[in-house]
Structure formats: C-alpha cells, structure tokens
Structure 1
Amino acid sequence: HWQSFLALVNMIMFCTGIPGHYPVNETTSSLTLTFWYTLQDDIMSFEAEKQAVYLQVYRPVYFQLVDVLLHKAQFPTDEEYASWSSDEKDNLYDKLGRLLTNTEQTTTWQHTEALLYGFQSIAETIDVNYSDVIPGLIGLIPRININNIQLADTVMFTIGALAEWLADHPVMLSSVLPLVLQALGNPDLSVSSVSTLKKICRECKYDLPPYATNIVAVSQEVLIKQIHKTSQCMWLMQALGFLLSALPVEEILRNLHSLITPYIQQLEKLSEETPNPSNKLAIIHILGLLSNLFTTLDITKQEEESGENAPPIKSAPPQTGPNPVVVVLQQVFALIQTVLSKWLNDSQVVEAVCAIFEKSVKTLLHDFAPMVSQLSEMLGQMYSTIPQASALDLTRQMVHIFASETNHFPPIKALFELVTSVTLTIFQQGPRDHPDIVDSFMQLQAQALKRKPDLFLSESLDVKAVFHCGLLSLKFPEAPTVKSTCFFFTELIPHCADIPPVGQVVQEDGKLLLLAVLEAIGGQSSRSLMDQFAEVLFCLNKHCFALLTVWLKEALRSPGFPSSRVSDDQKDTFSQQVLRERVNKRRVKDIVKEFTLVCRGLHGTEYAADY
C-alpha cells in the first residue's frame, strides 16, 4: 500500500504548504505539524533494519517538507505587507511571528531571512558543534546584503544562537563581531543586538580580550547617546561584566574607571539636587547599571575555569590584591551614603542601593570581606532610621555568607541584633501595614538559625519576643509571609536542646504555636499553605514529642476547636495519626490535608478533589 500512503502524506504536505500567510489568510497549516512530529518519532523508534526501510521511503518527503516550511517562514513582499491592516500585522506577530509565505521564487531578502531563521531555530534546539554547515554559514553572514530591519534582526539572533559554537571556534569571531557592534548603534535592533552581544560575552569571554577595548568603547558610546531602553542598558552592562571578568585585574580597573566615571559624576550632581521625580529615575537608572555590571563581573570564576579541565589557552591570569568590584565599591561608598541620606524615605531608591550590594555579595562571596564592616554599619543606620524590607534581605545575605567567619562575626552580630530590635518595635506598634518587612524578617531569623544558631545565645537578643512575632506572623493573610514564618519555626524548633533560650521559650509558649497551627488547619488559613503548617507540626512531634502529646490533648479538648465541623472521634484519630509519624513527613502532610478538608466541610466534595 506504499502508493496509497504516500498519496495521503502528499495531501498532508499540500495542507502544510497551503497558499496564504499564516495566520492572516489561512489558519490550517499549523494543524499538520503534529503529524510530522509523530511520523518522525514513530520512524525513529523502530529497530535499525526497519528504520532503514522507512527512512528510504520518507527521507525525500522530509526534504520536501523543509522546502515547504522555509517557504512558509518567509515574510511577504514589502508591497503586500504594506497592504495589511494593523490587526493583521499584530495577529501575525502574536501567533507565529515569522511563518509567512512568499510566492516569488527568486532569492529575495525574505528567502535569506527564512533560511537564517531556520538555522537559528536549529541552533537553539540542538548541539551544532559537530555540524559541518555552520562554518560556511558564519562565513556567509558578513556577505549578506542587509538592507532591511527584519533581516538584520534575524542575522543578530542567528549569531546569538551560535554563541556557544563561536566559543569553540573563536577564529570566526572576527567575522561576526563587527556586525554586532555596528548593530548596537541602531535603536531598531536594540533587543537583538544587545542580547547577542551578551551571549557572546558570556560564552566567549576568554577569546575576547583582543576585542575588549573596541567592545567597551562602542558600548560606552551607545550608553552615552541613550540609544537603548532601560532593560537593554542593563543587559549591556551585564555583557560588559562578563567581558571584563576575563581580563587581568589592572585592565579591569582601567576599563571600569572609564566606564563608570561618567555615571559617578552624574550621581554626584544628582545627590546635590533637591529630590524630585525626574532625578529619582536617573538615580535608580545609574544604580541599576552598576548593580547589573557587578552581577556578572566575577573574577573568581577564572580560577575555577582555569583548573585542570580547562583548555590551557583559556586559562586566566592569577589574581592578587582586592577584587576590582570591591575597589570600585569602596571608592563610591561615601557617595552612595550621601544619596541614601537624601532618599531614605523612598523605598525604590533604598532598594536600588541594596541591590548593588546584594548582587555584589552574591557574586563575590568571600571576596566581599573588606566591605563587611562598613556595609554592616550603613545597613544598621538605614534600617534604624526607616525600616525597609530590602535592608533586611541584604542583612540576610550577609548573615548567610559571613556569620560563620570568626573575624566578621562581631559586625554581623551587631547588625543582626540591631535590625531585630528595630523590627520588634514595629511589631509592638502594629505590623499589619508592613507584610513585606515581616516576611523578610522571618526569612532573616530562619537564615540566622540555619547558618549561625549562636546568634540566638546572645543576651541582647529577645528570643521570646521573636517567637511571639512569629505567632503573630502566622496569622497574616499574605501567603509568602506565612510560608517564611513556618520556615522560621521549622528552623527554630530543632534547637530546643542545644540553645537554652530556644528550649525555654518552646517549653513555655510552644502550646500557643500549636494552637496557631491548629487554627490555620481548622480553616483560618488558605489550603495552599497546609504543607507548611504540616512541617511545623512534624517538627514539634520530632523534637518535643512529650510536650506535643500533652498540648494536643488539651487543645483538642476544647469544644468546636479547631472547627465546629469535626467530631471528638475525628479529633482523636487526627491526634493519634500525627503522634505516630515521627519519621515520615510526607505522611503528616497527607494527614493534615485530610483533616483540613473535614474541618472546612469539604471532605469528599468535587471541589476538594479538583484542588
């Protein structure tokens, strides 16, 4: 029946290539794509002999399919495109952006663009390192007569898709890099040119030192001319961070100096002005550029990548002296403090300042050490004046990396105690208006318990007050805050035995925690949070079994608690099931989910099953 089958396949082929532009005046061609995928999968799943037979029959069909798809993927002629309504154009870009057809058979820019688009799609989905056509393609790209924005865009994206291949064939960089740098100056190619440069700088950074001066100069020029929108400026800074990471320290510093100086001068001017909305945007923009640059400027990766497995050519010079990012941060620290002092009331500016240090700490890790003391002091002052969540998040990063280091423990301990005591005051005044602060505070306390439980041994830390803040936070309506608070309790409870103040507060007030957890399970909290509450219950069972046995009995004795819908027998069953599970956390989660449905009157309903 081969002939009949092939006739059927050819009919489907006709449907794939049906005349018209998808989805402007035909919407059926895409329906056939699943068929081609499925047929291909079926053929490839056969054993070798059978596969060979089918491939012989179907290989010509798939060659023809490539032709048909390339034809479909072409833009229309300029005249035809101009005649489309704006709705048709939107429809086109929304649905399948580029799958259009062109009836002329000559090699137009549309034909070239469709071929490049095909290569780009392949490069993004499979490893092209072993492909013998890519060198030819890279060689052809500079010869393309780029006279059209759509074609230029696709050329950029195609080069970007081949960035990993270029890292393995760096000799070809010289033929495509000039195209990318040229495109950077065209606002219409903003997204494609900047994202391509970023990919090249990330993948090929050890081959880029000969081009670094040129890349930095062109980038500086387009940044000064403000050709790109904010998000592309941030990507461009990330690209430069990758690029500089591979240079020797003195060159990094030289480039950083020329790159950053105009912004620092601008920031100095802005810091002297009276705060207003337009200079606020400019300040946030500059701080954003710096933090994006520091996000990717990572010289520590050099040592890792120039280890035993890295090819010798790509090894980086050994580093001595302070990290370049630290050098720059120390130079601008006083200026950033000045900016902060004027904008402490503005959470967005404070966030932008914290982001610079947070990104730097995350990237530099222990190399950030020289800044710990002055940053801890600044954070303490900031938070004491006007508490904001971003300052707590940065404190958490600092605790995470430096709390375990003896010589950095004193400033970190002082900062941790200060922000804790300031936050306790917020709780006394009423924390409801600050769910973000409460959320970040709970995450900070959990991180401290995880990284350096000794912080809870301090006489200056009111562990009982922190525990009671946790009880209040469990009742917040915001899910992220409740999750962070449950995380805090699951980190706190295991320290009952080894940290006396924790043991004491759990002994005295642990029953209040159990009551809060049971209220939540009884219907006070969203069902989506039941896993988190189950973890707290499991923790209590594992570390305070004797106490939990008594507390559960007392708590569940109250009529109508935690819900009027549960009988005494159901409460007893729940209590026994929980106390039995001291190893299997998954089982406790199932028990809690079952019990919360009963408490809410949803047990056995379709609504419960759908959830």
Structure 2
Amino acid sequence: METLDNLEQAVNLFYKSQSTDQAQLNEYLTIQQKSQLAWQWSWEFLDFSRTIEVQFFGATTLHMKIQKNFLEVPESMRQELKEKLLQKIIEFGSGTKLVLNRLSMCLSAFIVHMLKEWPSAINDVIDMFLNRQLPNITQQTQQWILFDVLSSIPEEACNIITVQRAQVKQEVYKNSTVVLKTLEQFINTKCEKHQLEDEDIIALQNVAKCCQNWFKNGLIVLDGCQEITTQLLKLVSKIYWSILETDGCLSPDESELTETCLKALSSMMAQPDAYKYSNSALTLMRMFLESLSPIVKNEWKIDNLNEDIAFCIYSLFIASIECHSRTILAGIYAESVEHHEIYARFVNEILLCTDKPGNYPVEESCSTLAMGFWFLLQDEILSYDNPLERQKCLEAIQPVYAHLVKILVRKSQLPDEDNIGKWNSDDLETFRCYRQDIADTLLCCFDVLHVQILKILSEILDQGIAAIQIDTKNWPILEAAIHGFCAISQQIESVEYEEIVKLMRVLNEIPYESINEKLLGTALETMGSYSEWVNDNPKYLMSAIQLLVKGLDSSMASQATLGLKDLTSDCQPDQMMPLAEPLLEACQRSLLKGHMANSESIRLMYSIGNIMSVVSSEKIPIYLDNIISPCFTELQMHAEQKNTNDSARIRVMFCLNMISTLFSSLNTNKCKNEKKRIQPVMSSEHQQPQPILMILQKTMPIFKQICDLYINDVQVIEILCKAIQQALSNLMDDIKPILNDICSLIVSIFQIKCVPAVNDIGGLCILMFYGDELYKESMKQLLLQIVVYNFRVFEQTPLNKFSDISDLVESFYALNTKIVKKIPGAYTSENMDFIKMMNYALKGVTLPETGAIKKSASFIATFVKESRNHINMTNTVLLKGEDIIKTSLMCIAGAIPRVNVDVFGDIFISLNTKYPSEFIIWMKILETPNFPTTYINPEEKINFMRSIIREKVNKRLIQDQIKRFAAKCRGVIEDHM
C-alpha cells in the first residue's frame, strides 16, 4: 500500500483538482478504500490535525467498510469497534457537522449489522444521547447526533446487499415503536413551549427527517401512526398560526420544517402495506382535514405569503387519495355519514386546489397538482363491475365535473397584453405544458359529462363573445373557450350538435384583425382538430377552408398549415373537388409571398399534394410546374455550380424536403373510388401516369447529381432517400417504369457511402418487388449489393469502434429480419455468406446501443425460426449455435445494459423449438467454471439452464428467468429476493 502521506496528499488533491484529474484520483482512492488496510488508515485520518477533507474521507471510508465489508471484522473485535465509534462521535461533537454526519452513519450501519447480537442497540443509543450529559458536547449536539443516527438506520437496512436484507429490516422494524415514541415525546415537549427558538427549529427538522426516513422505507404499520401524526400536525399548526402574530410569512427554516413534516406524512400514507389498514387510513385523513384545511383556506388567495406550505398540504391530500383511492372513493356511496363526509371534503379540497387563485405558474403553483386526481376519480368509478353502482356514482360526480370544466377553462386563459410582461420564457413554456394538462383533463371530463360539456363550453363561449364586444383586450376569455372545444374534439361524434355548429360560425365571424393574434392561432388549431367532424358535415367545409386560408397569410401560418393538413387528409375527395383549384391557388400565393418558415412551407406541401390529387389530370402538370418546378430548378443550379456552402446546403435540404412531402401525399389513385360515383374511370391503357412518376422520370438525373455533390453529407443523403422512399410507398406498383433507375441510384450511393437511409429504401424495393417475376433477379442482385457494401463497412471498422456505426448495423439487420421472415428465398447459396452475417449480428447484440441490440437479436431469432426450411441456413445455425448461446449469456451477464436483456428470450425460444437436442448441448457451456461471471454459483446456473430448456412457448416466463439470471450474474440483489 502507498504510504499514509501519499494517500493523504491524494485526498487533498482530489477535492481541489479539475474534473480530468479527479477521474484518475477517484480510481486510485477507490482501490485504496477497498483494501483491508482501509480499516486502519481511516481511523488515522479522523484526527483534528488533518484537513477537513481528509477527516471527511476517513469517515466516508469507515462508513463504506462497515456498510459493505462488516464481515471482515472479527466477532472479538466488534465491541472495540463500537467503543471507538462512540468515542470518535463524542470527540467530533465539537467539530464540523460534515464529518460528524458521516460518523453518525457509521454508527447506524454498525447498529444495523449488530441488532441480533446487540438487540438493545437503539434503546441504548437513545438513552445515551437523550438522557445523559456527555462530556464536551452540548445537549443540542447530542440531540442532533441521536436523530442523525436514528434517521440513517432504515436507509442502512435497505442498503444491505446480502440475502439477509429482509431479516435485517425485520429486526429494525421491531424497534420502530421505541423510535416513534421518542420522536413523539420530543415533538410534544417542544410544542408545549410558548415560542420555538431557532435551535428548536433545527432540532425538529432532524426529527421530521427521521420520521420521513422511517416511513419512506416502509418500516411502520399504519395502525400505529395516529400519535406521531397528531404530533406532526400539531407542530405544523403551531408554526403556521404563530407567524400570523408577526409578518405572516414563514422563515426559510420554518418553511423547511413544515415541508419536511408534511412530506413525512405523505411517506407514511404511501408505505407499501398501508392499503391494508383502510380504517386507520380514514382516521388519519380525517385528522389531515381537520388540522390542515384551515391553513390552505387561509392561503387561498392571490399574493399569499406561504405558497410552499399550501403546495405541500395539497400534495399530502392528493398522495393520501392516490394511495388509498378505493378506500376514500368508497365514500361516494358509503352508508357511513362520516365516511361520505371525508370523501366529500377531500374532493372539495382538490377542487379548491385546482381553482387556486392566480395565474399558474407566476402567481400560484398548486393547481397543477390536482390534474391527476380527476383521472383517478373517473377511472375508479368507470372500473366498477356493477352497472347500477357505476351509474349512481357517475351521477354523483357529474356536478363536480361540471364545475371543474368551468374552473379549467378559466385557469387556461392566456396572459393578456397588460400581464405578459411578468412572464419569462420559462414561465410561458411551463404554462404551455399546463394548458396541455388542462386539455387532457377536459377530455377526461367528457367521459363523465358527455354532451353536457358542450353546453358548458357553449355558455363560456357566449361569455367570451360578450367580453370582446366590451373590450377586445378581454380576448383571453374567448380564446380559452375555443381552446376547451379544441381539447375535446377527438371525442366529438359526427352528429351536427348545435354547439359545434355555433362554434363553426363564431370561428368565422371573429374580427381577428383587431384582436391579439393568439386568438387566431387557437381558432386555426381548433378548426383543424374538427376536420373529421367537417368531413361528416361537409356543408361547413367551405367556411373551414376560408378560415385556414386566412391563417396562411398571418403570423399564425404554422397553425394554419397544420389545420389544412388535417382537413385535406380527412375530407373525402368528392367533397374537396369543387374547392380544390381555388384552394391550390391560395396555397401557391402564400408560398410565393415567402413569409412562411421553411417548416411551414414543407407542411403546406403535404396539403398541396392532397388537393392536387383530386384535380383533373390535365391541370395537374400546370400546378406542378408552378409549385414544385422551382425546387428542381434550384437543385439543378446548385448541382451545376457545385455549391456546398452552408446557405446552399440549407436550400438544398429545403427543396428536397418540399419534394419529399409532395411525394408522400400526391396520388391520383387515392380518389378513384370516389370518382367511380361521379364519372367512369378510364381504362388502364388510356389512364394517365401518376404525376410523381412523371416528375421522377424527368428529375432522376438531378437526384444523381445531388448525390454525387453531397455524398459525404449524411443528412442531405437521408432527406433525398426519404423523398424516394415516399414515392415508393405512395406509388407502389406504379413506380415500376423507373424502378431500375432507383436501384442504380441506390447502388451508386453504396459505392461511395453506406448509410442507413439507403438500406431502408433498398429493402423497401426488395420487399415490394421481389414477388414480381419480372424484377426478381434484379432484386436479388440489389440485395447482394446491399450485403456486400454493408459487409465492407463492417470489415473496415475496428471491433472497438462498432458503436460509431450502430445505426448502420441497426438498419442492416432490420432489413434482413424482414427479408428472412417474408422472402427467405431472396437469399441464395451463391450470393450469401450466412456465417459472416451471423457473426456481425452477434457483434450487434454486444453493442451498448439499444436499437442495434434489438434489431440484431430479432434477426438471429427470426433466422433460426426460418432456418429449417433452407439447408444453408440450417448449417449456419448448427455451426454457430454454440456461439449464439455463449454470446447471449455473456450479454445477459453484463456485456450490455440490463434493461435490454429480455431480447434474448426470442433467441432461446427459437433455438429450443427448432434445435431442441442441440440446444441442450449448447446450454451446457454454463457448466464452465466462473462462466459467465463469478457472482453466480453452479446450482443457480443449473436451475437457470433447466428452466430455459423446459419452457418452449411462454416468452414472458423466459424473459423473467433471464432478468433474474442477469441480476444474479451482475451481483445485483433484486427486491423479490
């Protein structure tokens, strides 16, 4: 071992060095801490002659040794260890609290390990620090030490990493009564004082933290919590009501104390076994209401001084209901008057929390807490099996939800021009998320109220209209009402409700020019959200389009393009036909103005494709020439000038995205079914070719030039590939005339750069056209080229650098999984090296990237399932089967993140099903000593092997076994163990 001076110097350097040096020093110090000699030098570091950093490191090391390596201490030395610990704690009682805290944790860890041999440990420590006067330590310090020690005991019990953890926790639980009694008496003594001093507040903070830790670790039965609850509530009340005699505002220390008390009570209600004690839970919740409701009532105002305590009280109310939902909600129909009253009072408190005065988040912070409760209440009632009981409860809560709708709409109002100055960007983003929560909650309200919610929203809409007629600055009221309609749109049936008809009329009549632009934005979003309803009620299509077109030329173009995209996608072609040409011209004018952002123009192109699909075939080329030809002209210019600077690159990507988006939506075949009702469809020999095909036939050379120019720019190549992929997916068989050109482009890209996007479109071509005898051979050749070029990249990549190409591995094996599954005949003996393909798949499952692991594992499993039908594939599995098992076991044991190990379930099942006798032999690799890790013993390996071999169908059971095995192999002790 290094000399003590060198180690001390390293510690001092560690706490003063930069991050790069710290990493090296941390590795060195960790090795020293694991040494047996650490038991010696940790005591030597606990000396006042050394720096605080060294003292702290010594105490931390001693804690780690007691916590993790206690068995290294001989039984004969444990009494001496206890005495030395107590001596050091007394010695450091006058020192820094940082070191004293670590020494207290040392004593806690020691107690946890020694409870069987020293059953009176907790009693003895309480007596020592609470009832005696120790030398050179103040009474306050003794109390601080005691509650610090008691506070750490539950955590230390939960940190035991051996299988005895459950037994240790049980031993600790036996002492919970005496601990609670001590805490109760201490709080009660302090509360009897007329006024709490600063030192009392600090001591009580430690007591409250101690309570929280014992509750948080699930060591207290709810039946025995009434007295500690009384004391904690009494303490909160004493602190709160006493401040009203002064300035009415809690100090930071007082606020922290009340918050810790309330969090302790929340932890108490949330203990894992608490649900078993429903009567006690009701009693405790009644106590909460009686003690805390007056406090939140006093804070229920704008500019209240103690928002934090209101937040914590409401959090406690909500946590109590969430943890005991069945118990409290049974009060809806309970015969007990008291039970029903508790339910009613709790619901009222949560309603008041939702309706907390002020704007969230700048004036209040509580209302967001309540959103989840309204889902819980609704779900609980709708889950009742008895339909009469369910209906009775729904009727009981409908008035509550009706009132809730009005509150939510009011709380969702945007800040007006006079108040927006108080909001910063973080506030606005928080409010945006809050509005989405409100929208989701309104959707929940719909499930309770159904069409009744339309009447409520319609009334608020009328109020909003009246408000802007008085003063246009009142627009937030109207905007919130429209937002409410928008929130429930997905639940609205095709019925022509009078409230929705009124909404459509109002949206078109609002004088947007004289009102804040945000009102128009919400109106456009709402119109788009009702696109399916408009489809079912086409008489309103014209007015919907008029509003959305108006939005295209405004600052709210983003919402307009989104709305138009929804409308053109959802409405039937025969409804759109009469309006198509004027709408196309309006879209074209908006594009030419150049005021829209690139993303808005790209989105608008999707609508243009949808609209153009219903225009007569003679006019489509004219519109294409006006709208999309400029993009190709610009691409041609950049290609000829070989211009790759940043501005040119941005424009190239923009043009490619415009083309890609058009390709995804322009398809004249999509409306043939509708045209049959209007006019006969032309026979195939007279049918016009698809517009996208006509475009591609003319522009493939431009795509090739762009590929050559930007071959090393993955982002540009991906966008170009996406355009071709959209054309393939959209046109299907109609793309055959240029299929060979597309394949040539794919191969030309592969020859220079192998990128995932090219794998994707190559695979799509193969899957779509391999079944066509005319193209079968060319698809085989394309697959061969894909495999060859991917293998070339794999071969050129060092094994330790495969993570750099994990996206390529992922796309390659995603493609091959589909081919093995759907068209295994595409693999022929002449063109496929299955051994190499399997080797790289095995490499893929060892990478840290989730995508590569999943796709590689899926390929292996699918390959094995299909292999029995093809002799070359069968031979591959027989040759590589043992490697597959060995690699899988190594990955499960620790080579990859534990969260991904369940993917090997499919591999085991496929091997066990298709190669049962060989699988048994391959699994015997587990008999190798210390394989896959030293953490797992031979008996556990045999049990795992038997369970895996026995199960051939149930993937879930296999995955459970794998997860347990992975935990054991990694030295992780799971809770169920």
Which category describes the TM-score, using the shorter chain as reference length?
A: 0.7 to 0.9
Cα-to-partner distance string for 1:544-565 (whole Å, 9 max, x where unaligned): 1222222222x22322112222
Distance across 2 between alignment mates of 1:216 and 1:181: 10
- 2:587 aligns with 219
Distance across 1 between alignment mates of 2:397 and 2:911: 64
Gaps of 5+ in 2: 1-336, 439-459
Partners of 2:531 and 2:570 within 8 A in 1? yes
Aligned equivalent of 2:492, options 126, 132, 135:
126
Aligned equivalent of 1:417, options 777, 784, 787:
784
Moved more, 120-129 or 492-501: 120-129
Question: How far did residue 357 of structure 1 move?
Answer: 1.0
Cα-to-partner distance string for 1:186-222 (whole Å, 9 max, x where unaligned): 2x20221111111111122522222222222222233
Aligned equivalent of 1:595, options 937, 961, 965:
965
Q: Mark the CA change 1:429 to 1:530 in structure 2 (over 3 Å): closer, same or farther.
A: same
**How many residues align structurally?**
597
Partners of 1:475 and 1:482 within 8 A in 2? yes
Highest RCO, 1 vs 2 (Cα 8 Å, sep ≥ 6): 1
* Secondary structure in structure 1 of the residue aligned to 2:903: helix
Q: Which letter maps to 1:24?
A: V
Question: How far did residue 313 of structure 1 move?
Answer: 6.7
Distance across 1 between alignment mates of 2:517 and 2:591: 21
Question: How far did residue 423 of structure 1 move?
Answer: 2.0
1:281-320 aligned at under 5 Å gives the runs 281-303=650-672, 312=677, 320=687
Are 2:608 and 1:240 equivalent residues in the alignment?
A: yes
Aligned equivalent of 1:20, options 352, 358, 365:
358
- 1:269 aligns with 637
- 2:811 aligns with 440
Aligned equivalent of 2:537, options 169, 172, 186:
169
Moved more, 278-287 or 141-150: 141-150
Aligned equivalent of 1:78, options 417, 422, 435:
417
Distance across 1 between alignment mates of 2:355 and 2:950: 65
Distance across 2 between alignment mates of 1:256 and 1:395: 27
* Secondary structure in structure 2 of the residue aligned to 1:459: coil
Distance across 2 between alignment mates of 1:224 and 1:583: 61
- 2:435 aligns with 96
* Secondary structure in structure 2 of the residue aligned to 1:434: helix
Considering only CA atoms, is the larger Rg found in Structure 1 or Structure 2?
2
Cα-to-partner distance string for 1:73-132 (whole Å, 9 max, x where unaligned): 444553344566666656544533899x99996464334323322322232443363412
Partners of 1:494 and 1:539 within 8 A in 2? yes
Partners of 2:576 and 2:611 within 8 A in 1? yes
Question: How far did residue 231 of structure 1 move?
Answer: 2.2
Distance across 1 between alignment mates of 2:938 and 2:371: 60
Distance across 1 between alignment mates of 2:923 and 2:389: 68
Q: Which letter maps to 1:427?
A: F
* Secondary structure in structure 2 of the residue aligned to 1:503: helix
Q: Which letter maps to 1:288?
A: N
Distance across 1 between alignment mates of 2:393 and 2:783: 71
Distance across 2 between alignment mates of 1:12 and 1:582: 51
Question: How far did residue 531 of structure 1 move?
Answer: 1.8
Q: Mark the CA change 1:534 to 1:80 in structure 2 (over 3 Å): closer, same or farther.
A: closer
Distance across 2 between alignment mates of 1:525 and 1:51: 51
Distance across 1 between alignment mates of 2:823 and 2:559: 46
Question: How far did residue 504 of structure 1 move?
Answer: 1.9
- 2:938 aligns with 568
Question: How far did residue 481 of structure 1 move?
Answer: 1.0
Question: How far did residue 513 of structure 1 move?
Answer: 1.8
Partners of 2:750 and 2:786 within 8 A in 1? yes
- 2:226 aligns with none
Q: Which letter maps to 1:219?
A: C
- 1:337 aligns with 704
Distance across 2 between alignment mates of 1:76 and 1:199: 28
Question: How far did residue 48 of structure 1 move?
Answer: 7.6
Question: How far did residue 370 of structure 1 move?
Answer: 2.3
Question: How far did residue 409 of structure 1 move?
Answer: 1.1
Name the TM-score, length of structure 2 as normaliser: 0.56
Distance across 1 between alignment mates of 2:944 and 2:387: 55
Distance across 1 between alignment mates of 2:897 and 2:664: 37
Aligned equivalent of 1:322, options 673, 689, 697:
689
Question: How far did residue 441 of structure 1 move?
Answer: 1.6
Aligned equivalent of 1:115, options 470, 473, 481:
481
Aligned equivalent of 2:956, options 586, 598, 608:
586
- 2:511 aligns with 145
Gaps of 5+ in 1: none
Q: Which letter maps to 1:172?
A: Y
Q: Mark the CA change 1:138 to 1:600 in structure 2 (over 3 Å): closer, same or farther.
A: same
Cα-to-partner distance string for 1:365-395 (whole Å, 9 max, x where unaligned): 2332223221112211210222222111111
Partners of 2:580 and 2:614 within 8 A in 1? no
Question: How far did residue 279 of structure 1 move?
Answer: 1.0
Moved more, 374-383 or 165-174: 165-174
Q: Mark the CA change 1:64 to 1:595 in structure 2 (over 3 Å): closer, same or farther.
A: closer
Q: Which letter maps to 2:504?
A: I
Distance across 1 between alignment mates of 2:394 and 2:777: 73
Distance across 2 between alignment mates of 1:404 and 1:270: 39
Moved more, 71-80 or 580-589: 71-80
Q: Which letter maps to 1:594?
A: R
Partners of 1:399 and 1:451 within 8 A in 2? no
- 1:388 aligns with 755
Distance across 1 between alignment mates of 2:596 and 2:679: 32
Q: Which letter maps to 1:279?
A: A
* Secondary structure in structure 2 of the residue aligned to 1:331: helix
Distance across 1 between alignment mates of 2:885 and 2:400: 68
Question: How far did residue 283 of structure 1 move?
Answer: 0.8
Moved more, 368-377 or 83-92: 83-92
Partners of 1:287 and 1:353 within 8 A in 2? yes
Report the RMSD for the aligned CA atoms in angstroms: 3.6
Partners of 1:24 and 1:91 within 8 A in 2? no
Name the TM-score, length of structure 1 as normaliser: 0.87
Q: Which letter maps to 1:209?
A: M
Distance across 2 between alignment mates of 1:306 and 1:134: 30
Cα-to-partner distance string for 1:554-611 (whole Å, 9 max, x where unaligned): x223221122222333332222222222233333222222222222222x434x88xx
Q: Which letter maps to 1:79?
A: D
Q: Which letter maps to 1:95?
A: Y
- 1:204 aligns with 571
Q: Mark the CA change 1:284 to 1:407 in structure 2 (over 3 Å): closer, same or farther.
A: same
* Secondary structure in structure 2 of the residue aligned to 1:192: helix
Distance across 2 between alignment mates of 1:22 and 1:296: 41
Q: Which letter maps to 2:653?
A: I
Aligned equivalent of 1:376, options 731, 734, 743:
743
Moved more, 41-50 or 463-472: 41-50
Q: Mark the CA change 1:227 to 1:538 in structure 2 (over 3 Å): closer, same or farther.
A: same
Distance across 1 between alignment mates of 2:825 and 2:362: 67
Moved more, 565-574 or 45-54: 45-54
Question: How far did residue 165 of structure 1 move?
Answer: 1.8
Aligned equivalent of 2:835, options 445, 464, 467:
464
Question: How far did residue 359 of structure 1 move?
Answer: 1.6
Partners of 2:492 and 2:533 within 8 A in 1? no
Partners of 1:119 and 1:158 within 8 A in 2? yes
Distance across 1 between alignment mates of 2:887 and 2:377: 58
Q: Which letter maps to 1:503?
A: T
Q: Which letter maps to 2:567?
A: I
Partners of 1:566 and 1:599 within 8 A in 2? yes
Moved more, 62-71 or 521-530: 62-71
Question: How far did residue 154 of structure 1 move?
Answer: 2.0
Distance across 1 between alignment mates of 2:841 and 2:402: 65
Q: Mark the CA change 1:315 to 1:549 in structure 2 (over 3 Å): closer, same or farther.
A: farther
